[in-house]
Structure 1
Amino acid sequence: MTDIRIALSDKAIAQLPTPEDGWYLARDTELKGFFVVVGKRKRTFTVQGDLRQRGKRASSIRVSIGDASELTTRAARAIAKEYLAQISKGQHPKARENGNSEQAATDGNGAVGAATLEQTWQRYLEAHLIRKGRSEKTISGYRDHVERLFSEWLKTPLLDLANDPARVAKKHDQLTKENGPYIANGSMRTLRAIYNHARKTNRSLPRDNPADAVDWNQEERRNTGMGTGDLKGWFFELANLENPIRREFHLLALLCGSRPTALQQARPEHINFRRRTLHIPKPKGGSKRAFDIPLSRQMILCLIRVLRFGRQMQPSQAQKWLFPAESASGHLAETKEDREVLSKWGNDLRQTFRTIATAAGVSEFDAKLLMNHSIPGVNAGYVTRHKLVEDHLRSQQQAISTVVFSALGESLKEHKALINWLGPGASRSTVTQVRLEPNTLGEGQERTQQVA
């Protein structure tokens, strides 16, 4: 949402709409520099002003006042006036509580040399992660690194860490022993990113990043995908899965190679049966990476089955979500299975998709487009993906699905659980006449649809 200007009051703030993602500012029409940051979960009174040194503008800073649920607008406005007066005199309002001297020069992240990890993390969160539309899962991962693994450093000035790289290296060693090599490396990548971001507006920080002192743990790509010879046994496992909605979820994940979190949040209106696509509005990388998945015949049947199962099992949640569930969100939130029940799920299936794509003769370039990977190289920028979806990429998708189901051989005629799920009779009874709500179809489509 775009920023707005209103006369801030308790009632006006309570009536502000909550953004679907990210955040926006509601600026006060009475007091310049006073506003509320409106996010999905929180509304924060904030001020912004220009710090001046020797009569010249040094930098612009934002200082939070407090949570709008805990502070009245009148009290927040009084604090805002005091903060703005201090800023106009070249003083950071929170310099004392952050342990800075009154004379310390300041920048956008707080006092130079005294901005804490907590302050720079909040700046990175708001200015980089949220503003660029990073997913909730991505943000929660960063938050876990900073607020849990680095909790004892939150009040530590970033400059102290920069001047003591051995301390950072020792922390990495500790995390490796206690949390494992992958989490230790990931947390240090987070620290490195926050430091680099802070240094953009704080040139007093040393050029050398303290995370560079780390002896990185060796990381090996997890190789858990299946080949064509493994698919029959996996299908037998999947056919015996009790929950049919979860069964269709795992099948679709295999057939499209999508990340599980993107499919979990799919909605019925994202399906366009006329164009034979499933729209993914917020994949990894945010809304700017939105794309359409071309649908093979087998994927269409899978979607139709899950629409039917959803309406039968979770009628309320199924109005909003493609894979409904009894969860706080209303959709499948946890898609892990007992490995003894289903041996492969999640990113295992994404790796399998890439492996089967090669067996189907699909080029590496096309496979990356189907999986919404970024394409390296200058020439890739000239490829218009959506122009390929309805013909070329769909034929490649169909080739992959054909190889997957060909691996079943005669099992579709012999294995009882498979016959009941995917056999010819089961398919006809499921898909011959399917009544779909208007918002699940492309504009102008009929409500009753025959799927060939």
Structure 2
Amino acid sequence: MSNMRILLNDKTIERLSTPYHGRYIVRDTDLKGFFLMVGTRKKTFMIQADLRKRGKRVSTVRLALGDTRALSTRAARSLAKEYLAQISRGVHPKENERPTKASTAAGVDPVSGEVSTSITLKEAWARYRLAMERKKRSDRTIESYRDHVERIFVGWLDTTLRVLGEEPGLVAAKHDEVGKLHGPYIANGSMRTLRAIYNHARKIHRYLPSDNPVDSVDWNYEKRRNSGMGLSDLEKWFLQAAQLDNPLRREFHLFTLLSACRPAALKAVKITDLDLRRRTLHIPRPKGGADRAFDIPLSRQMIKCLIRAIRFGRQMYPYEAETWLFPADSATGHLVEHKEDRRVLSKWGNDLRQTYRTIATPAGVSELDARMLMNHSVPGVNAGYITRHKLLEDHLRVQQQAISDTMFAALGGLLQTNRKIQGWLQFGRSSV
């Protein structure tokens, strides 16, 4: 196929056909020296220009800017203008990256087209994942990082970190692309993952640029969700929860409200983690991993909730209930999915954690006590001097009881007038 000339943009590039063999060039009509190399496997942005010294041509510089799967046309054009401007001034854009014999065996980077021995993103991720496992990071955290690397950055797995470090425009363009495809929160989150991997790799690979390429990103605005309920909203929520068909899920949501425990951690709690003598529930793997394990002090309402859950579990899933506090007919044997139709139950999950934190204030619980009950880190230099388990048996349990009492007081006369609420919350009268 003969060479072509068109105005390069994302739409025109997408329409270009792939040759059965060989490759062909598509030159940009707007920027001289900027073109696209179309091959059987990929389409690569390129530049070409004569490098001159004192008016005489020294050599022809031809460089790959990046694959169209990893770089938008807009970002490639911007990078091309920068490189072509350097060449016009007699400066090779990658003067300091001339390949050596040692690097020749390493192969060609799929994005830059340059020969390099730099560590790839795939290799850096493997090392960082091992470091996370050694630090006992939670499975959920590791899975989140893995998803970013192997799904969002799948086209960059064989790309060297050196290329990304020296061409931060690629990273900025990728952030924009991910934001359009997956939304602003995923775009920001994936970039935080890349930033962490790069920083970790540079501890050993000191040749990497000291400036993290993620610093080039213009972060998307992230609005903190404010979906918690106030005291006036609880009556409606309890009426909705009382209508749920599955009584075990109903108790799960209630305990999430009363404890502010993260759903992912609560699902994996075992019967053996409940200590009725000490009136505590042990959370072995909260957010942050096993090192953040803690005990939740139980109020009277929380104990009744868990006893109902145990009874329902034994009736509905007798085999799984021998192990799990919230059993289910699942591969794991415990509750896996906690989400409800918002039209059936308006608030669940993190909404209930926010509600707990909101109601702690009218319950008279201090900021410090609320953070400790929710297993949040305590800010300030005095945090290291607070021994949580010493406060657990008396002080924190009193604060927990105050929050539960305040929530139930918001029900008003429902406990006396509504049969659904009575059958659910009055101990010993619930039925499946």
TM-score, normalised with respect to structure 1: 0.70
Q: In the alignment, what sits opposite 1:289?
A: 292
Closer, same or farther in 2 for the Cα pair 1:96/1:415, shift >3 Å?
farther
Q: In the alignment, what sits opposite 1:401?
A: 404
Q: Distance in 2 between matches of 1:419 and 1:301?
A: 13
| Residue type at the aligned position of 2:303 | I
- Assess if the C-alpha contact under 8 Å between 1:113 and 1:205 holds in 2: no
- Assess if the C-alpha contact under 8 Å between 1:336 and 1:346 holds in 2: yes
Q: In the alignment, what sits opposite 2:160?
A: 157
* 1:288 positional shift: 1.0
Q: In the alignment, what sits opposite 1:175?
A: 178
Match of 1:123 among 122, 127, 132: 127
Other structure's SS at 2:282 match: strand
| Residue type at the aligned position of 1:125 | R
Other structure's SS at 1:359 match: coil
* 1:113 positional shift: 4.8
Q: In the alignment, what sits opposite 2:428?
A: 428
Q: In the alignment, what sits opposite 1:99?
A: 107
Q: In the alignment, what sits opposite 1:84?
A: none
- Assess if the C-alpha contact under 8 Å between 2:107 and 2:116 holds in 1: no
Cα deviation digits, residues 324-344 of structure 1 (max 9, x gap): 011111111110000000000
Q: Distance in 1 between matches of 2:248 and 2:429?
A: 17
Superposed CA RMSD in Å reads 1.9
Q: Distance in 2 between matches of 1:367 and 1:289?
A: 16
* 1:321 positional shift: 0.6
| Residue type at the aligned position of 1:244 | P
* 1:98 positional shift: 5.3
Q: In the alignment, what sits opposite 2:145?
A: 142
Cα deviation digits, residues 241-289 of structure 1 (max 9, x gap): 0101100000000000111111000001000001000001111111111
Q: In the alignment, what sits opposite 2:224?
A: 221
Q: In the alignment, what sits opposite 1:313?
A: 316
Q: In the alignment, what sits opposite 1:367?
A: 370
| Residue type at the aligned position of 1:165 | P
* 1:377 positional shift: 1.1
| Residue type at the aligned position of 1:236 | L
| Residue type at the aligned position of 2:391 | L
Residue-pair matches, total: 325
- Assess if the C-alpha contact under 8 Å between 1:113 and 1:159 holds in 2: no
Other structure's SS at 2:197 match: helix
Other structure's SS at 1:409 match: coil
TM-score, normalised with respect to structure 2: 0.73
- Assess if the C-alpha contact under 8 Å between 1:112 and 1:204 holds in 2: no
Q: In the alignment, what sits opposite 1:245?
A: 248
> Rg larger in 1 or in 2?
2
| Residue type at the aligned position of 1:428 | G
Other structure's SS at 2:361 match: helix
Match of 2:329 among 326, 329, 335: 326
Percent identical among aligned pairs is 62
* 1:319 positional shift: 0.9
Q: Distance in 2 between matches of 1:141 and 1:159?
A: 24
Other structure's SS at 2:355 match: helix
| Residue type at the aligned position of 1:99 | G
| Residue type at the aligned position of 2:129 | L
Q: Distance in 2 between matches of 1:279 and 1:428?
A: 25
- Assess if the C-alpha contact under 8 Å between 1:113 and 1:204 holds in 2: no
Other structure's SS at 1:279 match: strand
Other structure's SS at 1:292 match: strand
Match of 1:234 among 229, 237, 243: 237
Q: Distance in 2 between matches of 1:361 and 1:113?
A: 60
Is residue 2:258 matched to residue 1:258?
no
* 1:422 positional shift: 1.2
Q: Distance in 2 between matches of 1:197 and 1:353?
A: 37
Q: In the alignment, what sits opposite 1:65?
A: none
* 1:428 positional shift: 3.4
* 1:376 positional shift: 1.1
| Residue type at the aligned position of 2:166 | N
Q: In the alignment, what sits opposite 1:385?
A: 388
Other structure's SS at 1:326 match: coil
Q: Distance in 2 between matches of 1:414 and 1:384?
A: 44
Q: In the alignment, what sits opposite 1:376?
A: 379
- Assess if the C-alpha contact under 8 Å between 2:175 and 2:187 holds in 1: yes
Q: Distance in 1 between matches of 2:333 and 2:317?
A: 9
* 1:429 positional shift: 4.7
Cα deviation digits, residues 198-237 of structure 1 (max 9, x gap): 0011100000001000000011110000000000000000
Q: Distance in 1 between matches of 2:117 and 2:252?
A: 50
Q: In the alignment, what sits opposite 1:184?
A: 187
Other structure's SS at 1:197 match: helix
Q: Distance in 1 between matches of 2:378 and 2:335?
A: 30
* 1:149 positional shift: 0.4
| Residue type at the aligned position of 2:122 | E
User: Comparing 242-251 with 113-122, which one deviates more in the overlay?
Assistant: 113-122
Q: In the alignment, what sits opposite 1:412?
A: 415
| Residue type at the aligned position of 1:123 | R
Where does structure 1 differ by over 2 angstroms across 4 or more consecutive aligned residues? Answer: 95-101, 428-431
Q: Distance in 2 between matches of 1:237 and 1:99?
A: 62
Q: Distance in 1 between matches of 2:169 and 2:104?
A: 28
- Assess if the C-alpha contact under 8 Å between 2:106 and 2:116 holds in 1: no
Closer, same or farther in 2 for the Cα pair 1:396/1:112, shift >3 Å?
farther
- Assess if the C-alpha contact under 8 Å between 2:258 and 2:302 holds in 1: yes
Other structure's SS at 1:328 match: coil
Q: Distance in 2 between matches of 1:370 and 1:153?
A: 42
| Structure-to-structure mapping, 1:52-91, within 5 angstroms | none
| Residue type at the aligned position of 1:247 | R
Closer, same or farther in 2 for the Cα pair 1:204/1:244, shift >3 Å?
same
